[in-house]
Structure 1
Amino acid sequence: MGHTGDGVTIAVVDTGIDVDSPEFAGRISAFSRDMFDGVDTRGVNATDDHGTNVSLVAAAARNGSGILGMAWDATIMALRADTPGSCGADNPTSSNTNCSFANSTIADAVTYAADNGAKVINLSLGGSRASLALQRAVEDAVNAGVLVVVAAGNDGRADPDGFALSLADDAAGGVLIVGSIDEDGSISSFSNRAGAGTSQFIMARGGLVCCVYEDGQIYEQNGTRYLLQGTSFAAPQVAGAAALLAQAFPNLTGAQIAQLLLETAHDAGAAGTDEQYGRGVLDVAEAFAPQGVTRLAESSEAFPLSALAGTTSPAMGDAISAASLAAVVLDKYSRAYDVNLSSSFQSAPVSQRLQGALAGHSRAVGAASGNMSVAFTIDASGDAMRQPQTGSLQLAQQDAEAARVLAGRVTMRLAPDMQVGFAFSESADGLAAQLQGQDRPAFMVARSAGGDDGVYRTTDAAIAARRQFGAWGLTARAEMGETVNNTLDPVIDVQRLQQRDRVRSFGLSLDRRFGNLSTALGLSLIDEDNSVLGARFHDGFGLQGAQTMFVDAEAGWNFARKWRLGAAMRLGQTTPQGGLLADGSRLMTQAWSFDVERAGVFAQNDRIGFRVSQPLRVNGGALNFNLPVAYDYASNSARYAVQSLSLSPNGRELMGELAWSGALWSGHASASVFFRHEPGHYAQLPADKGVGLRWSRGF
């Protein structure tokens, strides 16, 4: 945790302190004093060891010897309050347990401590109900932001001492009553139980605590060390823990520290709060952890650290694994925490391209007549698919009931120089390619760079229109759909289904043939509502989507009879919008592909081709977020700085595929051999390689 109590004062109202002990060197407050006026010769130097031992448990030094206190750099304000002559060397016939403390003196000490900078007051004292004056003194100290810690008592009773209960009654949650547990975590036999003080009761180790001290050293007799026990030594552990919290989070009041320690206590005994262990056992680590719903500093938008900060998209590959996005978040107590938000991002899973090419049961149905063509892809995964198919070339009744139209396309020639097309669940790129008369090679795994937007998304509807102007063709296209987050978090999946992340795209392209060379040049605009190139960010970032502009260039050259060379290049720039973004936020992307194909290899209409490609990849730019990076408790304000989130992956996928397709056994067959280097743009992933075979036949 890195906190030691430095700068925090713990007032120990007790029998004084060993001022010469090396355990407190330089850390006994100048405000330490004997609370009895007129007893000038006594001072705070203890003649009884109770106050010293209590102070040791709270704040013994980290000096390589002796014991280590809970808050080893805290300052001790020793306020001696034992009645003169009642204990220690002042009365050699008495034992430590006979020391007496007047309520009025304790009240004066509490008031004095609160007035002179103590953040925590430890009362390892007990007895009957406190006086009204002492209760008021404690209440005033709590109202001033001080935490008061009181021992529960050592009588093994069902309730804490009346002294502790009466102080907690009217102190607005700023008093903690501390009981004792043994080494095994069970309640100490001598410790008073929570009983009537359940809501303000917490446990700490008080059974056999090391060690009795004398003259600044652990006391030994004939090689034997003597251990301490009692709720008197459980209480300063809680006081020390409170000092650690007060140093780390100076905005906390004593009452807030009390509530924090109570609600983060480790449950013990019966489930929940009970009359034995109260709220449970002190758990310092949990008390330091953020509580409740966190938010970015100076923001009202919830930003839970347990939630995903975002999910990236395929074009970003493994980028997030090396990214850093520093910020300050506040918990429900307005405590500031430095976090790396990028650590709670999730990378997009690597697509299984071969599975996508081969999986699923569908049937293609199409027809063409004159100036119109119609094509549908029909889901045939129901039981009807397995029934015998006989009769005419149409779906039987039971097939039609089981089938579902997955995608469809209609194209029409309205005039010799004008064509239009409509599609659902198909991209506008494929529709435009048909209108342009492109004869693209068919590969199972390696895609052409044209139309690769690096995003998991679906298409609802698409439209395209092409007009011929002499040798030139102009094609306009548009489509709408939604981005899909392939997250592994089921909670996020449910949220995604409830919130449609709409995406729209628009494009223009010019195409022309120059003899055996076909060319196309296009511009595309993708407009996303809530995502950035398919990546999703937590609502706390306030992003309002993004726009991506792609420039596409394609060429195909029939350089010899039955031979064709093809190439495609896509360059993109994504500009996110809104939220915490600073100027200069943009992502640069690139995809390319080269292929060679030969027709008529083994038969008149078969084809074989080879393609090498790089799928769309972020290769530059960053998202610049204006985030809180430091927090000032004095002014309750944050300092902001621009933090850049690079989404350029370390890996670079390069894909090669050798593919054949043609007629076989009265059907159509395809075969593919492929190799993917650093698949999904993940540098550490092994190569993905395989063989795919597909055969289909119409009925």
Structure 2
Amino acid sequence: HGTHVAGIVAGNGHDSALGYIEQYLGIAPNANIINLRVLDANGAGDDSSVIAAIDRAVQLQGQYNIRVINLSLGRPVYESYTVDPLCQAVERAWQAGIVVVVAAGNMGRDNSFGEQGYGTIEAPGNDPNVITVGAMNEHRNWSRDDDVIASYSSKGPTMLDHIVKPDLVAPGNRITSLQVPGSVLATLVRPNALLNPLNGCGAADSDPTACGVSATGQYVQLSGTSMATPVVAGAAALMVQANSSATPDSVKALMMKNAWKGYPQATKIVYDADGIPYSTQTDIFTYGAGYLDIQATMADDTVVPGGAASPEAVFDPNTGTATLVNGLSVVWAQSVVWGQSVVWGQSVVWGQNEVADNSVVWGQSVVWGQMDTSACSVVWGQSVVWGQSVVWGQASALANSDPGDN
């Protein structure tokens, strides 16, 4: 998992330079990677390990010029970000001048409270300072016109604090990057997720044109907000490379301002494993400020005058709208950041949405939730979607599914 994520950030394409039909480069191939391992071979860890690694990165910042932290991990929100030690750790890094990019989570299909995946942002992505990233399904083509939100991508607002998240969305479906042969992950990925040098898809040794087990297995396609997050982290690395004086707030604000806001219409996606239709929405709790646009962001030399904390959403039952409080409104008019199709004046277009009626997010069972606080673990195993493979932890139910298309 970590190797795959690192390859998305800064892979140099060396292993695909010869013999493959494409070269698989990371977003910022000239960036250096500092590896601070916090999860075990099964993808599980605890808060203390993650916090220690974040603090260690801050300590090593001057020695290695650490400018960006990628956190393709998360756990449920147990308490307000103001007192959560995990959120306090990412804030220390942010205040030290390090851009922190965090996965939104892969709970967008969770309808256990009838909320259609709303209110499922994981910690520390619930912190208003960090850049929280959702995943887009780009349908494996170069046009973004048909791109839609991945159905598993977690939606805001955050539990307890009602922070508007995610901040951005980026490609996260069937992302090609490195794998480690023989790792736990490699044993769980379905064979047709491995890439063959000859045709760019999985191929059996006996027939190079057929899908099957790859002869080399150097690259694999995985899906999830874990894969979208390093796309944004790589973009952040490009920004600080181009402008060494860039601050975490300026990086976040410019990304959000320049995000593509041509939101698609709401559609129905049927997930074949269970036949349940999932609705993709066009509100800011699904797409945030929009779809990452690296070229537009890099071309914008606007000086950001203040902070870029994500706003709080305050719901007014009398009007059926959620007003955005604080956050980026101090930097730009909210219509600039969020796009006219999403924000009308200072209120979210809320009540007209097919799924996102007021009770969906703001019902007490959803906002305040019944959460199990007996464990304090950070995992990618419970919710990451593994390309053409399974949702780890639910393999028995989804072993024959293809969640990468959703």
Aligned partners of 1:198 and 1:273 also within 8 Å = no
Distance 1:252 1:200 in 2: 22
1:289-688 residue pairs with structure 2 within 5 A?
289-292=299-302
Match of 2:85 among 133, 136, 158: 133
User: Among residues 265, 284, 290, which one is paired with 1:280 in the alignment?
Assistant: 290
Partners of 1:53 and 1:280 lie apart in 2 by 25
The 2-side partners of 1:161 and 1:108 are apart by 22
Query: How far 1:127 sits from its partner (Å)?
Result: 1.4
Residue 290 of structure 1 deviates from its aligned partner by 2.6
- The residue that corresponds to 1:536 in the other structure is none
Displacement of 1:134 in angstroms is 2.1
SS of the equivalent of 2:149 reads coil
Give the secondary structure class of the aligned counterpart of 1:70. coil
Letter of the 1:122 counterpart: N
Measured in 2, the distance between the counterparts of 1:293 and 1:177 equals 22
Task: Tell me if structure 2 keeps the 8 A contact 1:273–1:280.
Answer: no
Listed one character per residue, the Cα deviations across residues 105-150 of structure 1 (whole Å, up to 9, x for unaligned) are 1011111112212211111002112773222221111111111111
Q: Which residue of 2 aligns with 1:78?
A: 35
For the residue of structure 1 that corresponds to 2:107, the secondary structure is coil
Encode CA deviations 1:549-583: one digit per residue, 9 max, x unaligned: xxxxxxxxxxxxxxxxxxxxxxxxxxxxxxxxxxx
Question: What are the superposed Cα offsets for residues 612-659 of structure 1, whole Å, 9 maximum, x if unpaired?
Answer: xxxxxxxxxxxxxxxxxxxxxxxxxxxxxxxxxxxxxxxxxxxxxxxx
Between the aligned partners of 1:293 and 1:257, the Cα distance in structure 2 is 11
Once the two structures are superposed, residues 240-263 of structure 1 have per-residue CA deviations (whole angstroms, 9 ceiling, x without a partner) of 000000100001111211111111
Query: In structure 2, what residue type is equivalent to 1:213?
Result: Q
Supply the distance in 2 between the matched residues of 1:165 and 1:227 (Cα, whole angstroms): 24
Counterpart position of 1:206: 172
**1:110 counterpart = 2:54:** yes
| 1:124 to 2:72 alignment | yes
Corresponding residue for residue 60 of structure 1: 11
Q: Deviations over 1:205-264 (max 9, x none)?
A: 001111452459957551546521000000000000000001000011112111111111
Specify the alignment match of 1:150 in structure 2: 102
Looking at structure 2, the residues matched to 254 and 133 of structure 1 have their Cα atoms a distance apart, in angstroms, of 20
Give the equivalent residue in structure 1 for 2:327.
Answer: none
Q: What is the deviation of 1:289?
A: 1.2
2:341 maps to which residue? none
Distance apart, 1:77 and its partner CA: 0.7
The list of structure 1 runs, each at least 4 consecutive aligned residues, that deviate by more than 3 angstroms after superposition, is: 194-197, 214-221, 223-226, 270-273, 291-294
Greater strand share, 1 or 2? 1
For residues 11 and 291 of structure 2, the distance between their equivalents in structure 1, rounded to whole angstroms, comes to 22
How far apart are residue 193 of structure 1 and its match?
A: 2.2
Decide whether aligned partners of structure 1 residues 152 and 133 sit closer, same or farther in structure 2, where only a CA change above 3 A counts.
same
Q: Assess, with a 3 A threshold, how the Cα gap between structure 1 residues 268 and 164 changes in structure 2: closer, same or farther.
A: farther
Aligned-residue identity in percent: 32
Partner of 1:253: 247
Equivalent AA in structure 2 for residue 189 of structure 1? S
Deviations 1:248-303 (A, max 9, x none): 00011112111111111111437997222110010000111134489xxxxxxxxx
Supply the distance in 2 between the matched residues of 1:128 and 1:230 (Cα, whole angstroms).
16
Alignment of 1:159-174 (within 5 A): 159-166=119-126, 168-169=127-128, 173=129
Q: Secondary structure in 2 aligned to 1:78?
A: coil
* Residue in structure 1 matched with residue 400 of structure 2 by the alignment: none
Q: Does 1:242 align with 2:236?
A: yes
Amino acid at match of 1:191: S
Residue 192 of structure 1 corresponds to: 154
- Cross-structure match for 2:133: 178
> In 2 relative to 1, CA 144–180 (structure 1 residues): closer, same or farther, beyond 3 Å?
same
Q: Which deviates further from its counterpart, 245-254 or 272-281? A: 272-281
Q: Secondary structure at the match of 2:154?
A: coil
How far does residue 71 in structure 1 lie from its aligned partner after superposition? Answer: 0.3
Looking at structure 2, the residues matched to 240 and 155 of structure 1 have their Cα atoms a distance apart, in angstroms, of: 24
SS in 2 for 1:276: helix
Equivalent residue of 1:181, what SS?
strand
1:417 equivalent in structure 2: none
Q: Which amino acid aligns with 1:287?
A: T
AA matched with 1:114 = V
Query: 3-state DSSP class of the match of 1:178?
Result: strand
Q: CA separation in 1, counterparts of 2:285 and 2:121?
A: 14
| C-alpha distance in 1 between matches for 2:53 and 2:180 | 26
Q: Larger relative CO (CA 8 A, sep 6+): 1 or 2?
A: 2
CA contact (8 A) 1:145 1:253 kept: yes
Unaligned runs of 5+ in 1: 1-49, 88-95, 295-331, 333-699
Letter in structure 2 aligned against 1:178: V
Give, in whole Å, the separation in 2 of the partners of 1:155 and 1:277. 15
So what's the TM-score if we normalise by structure 1?
Answer: 0.31
Q: Distance in 1 between matches of 2:301 and 2:264?
A: 23
Residues in 2 aligned to 1:238 and 1:176: alpha-carbon distance in whole angstroms: 9
- The answer to whether the 8 A contact 2:170-2:291 is kept is yes
Q: 1: distance between equivalents of 2:303 and 2:103?
A: 33
Matching residue's letter, 2:169? M
The letter for the 1-side match of 2:224 is: G
In structure 2, stretches of 5+ residues that fail to align are 109-116, 139-145, 183-193, 197-201, 215-219, 266-281, 305-330, 332-406
Residues 181/187 of structure 1: CA separation in 2 closer, same or farther (3 Å cut): same
CA contact (8 A) 2:68 2:99 kept: yes
SS in 1 for 2:75: coil
How many residue pairs are counted as aligned between the two chains? Answer: 229
Using the alignment, how far apart are the partners of 1:240 and 1:56 within structure 2? 10
Aligned equivalents of 2:181 and 2:98: distance in 1? 31
Q: Find the residue that maps to 1:191 and give its secondary structure.
A: coil
Structure 1 counterpart SS, 2:86: helix
Q: Match for 1:81: what amino acid? A: V
Structure 1 SS opposite 2:92? helix
Whether the 8 Å CA contact 2:87–2:123 is kept in 1: the answer is: no
Which residue identity does 1:253 align to in structure 2? T
Q: Which protein has the bigger helix share?
A: 2
Aligned to 1:518: none
How far apart in 2 are the matches of 1:229 and 1:215? 18
- Given that residues 195 and 276 in structure 1 are in contact (C-alpha distance below 8 angstroms), is that contact kept between their aligned partners in structure 2? no
Residue type matched to 1:162 in 2? Answer: E
**Deviation per residue, 1:180-215 (Å, 9 max, x gap):** 001132001111124344365100000111145245
Answer yes or no: is the 8 Å Cα contact 1:110–1:137 preserved in 2: yes
Distance 1:181 1:194 in 2: 15
Is the Cα contact below 8 Å between 2:87 and 2:124 reproduced in 1? Answer: no
Q: 1:188 to 1:273 in 2, by over 3 A?
A: closer
Q: 2:100 is aligned with what amino acid?
A: V
Calculate the TM-score normalised by the size of structure 2.
0.51
Q: Is the contact made by 1:178 and 1:235 (CA closer than 8 Å) also made in structure 2?
A: yes
Matched with 2:256 is 262
Shift of 1:164: 3.4
